[in-house]
Amino acid sequence: MGNCALSSIGMIFEVSSTEPATQDPAGFAALTYTKVGVLLTFPVVGGTADITSSDPLETGQRCKSQGVIDWGQLPLESLYVEGDAGLEIMHQGLNGTFKGQDMAYKGTYPNGAIRYYRGFVSASTETVGSASDNIMSGVQVEINYEPIRVAAP
């Protein structure tokens, strides 16, 4: 692909209702995934660290250090498609069969690179909108662990 930017066209997002046995590429790859229908957007993903600080009287210089890391959320938006098995698994993560449990998620980029995520569903919505809108389905996943990056083949 040279030095050209990688388009997001062709990204595939999948969910597994189970957690990986190990938090590494092999643990995630061993799971069975179900494709999530018509995903429209994929959010910014990554960690953010809290900053802790103290102000010593002797020096008057603020001393900062890294606190806990929050791996963020996956606020996903897709078209509502009746019978979409991937969306149904994710919706069941809020208040159904998989309520409150971490599940595994797999994002495959068009070049074959993979991103694995692990977290629980914290929101599940549908939006009808106006006469000119498509019915939308929304799910938010709270990421509990550092995402696993697998390079393109």
What string of DSSP letters covers 57-110?
TTT---EEEEEEEE--EEEEEEE--TT-HHHHHHHHHHHSTTTT--EEEEEE-T
Q: Evaluate if pTM is beyond 0.85.
A: yes
pLDDT, tens digit, 9 for 90 and up, residues 28-65: 999 999 999 898 888 888 899 999 999 999 999 999 99
| pLDDT mean over 129-137 | 93
pLDDT, tens digit, 9 for 90 and up, residues 72-91: 999 999 999 999 999 999 99
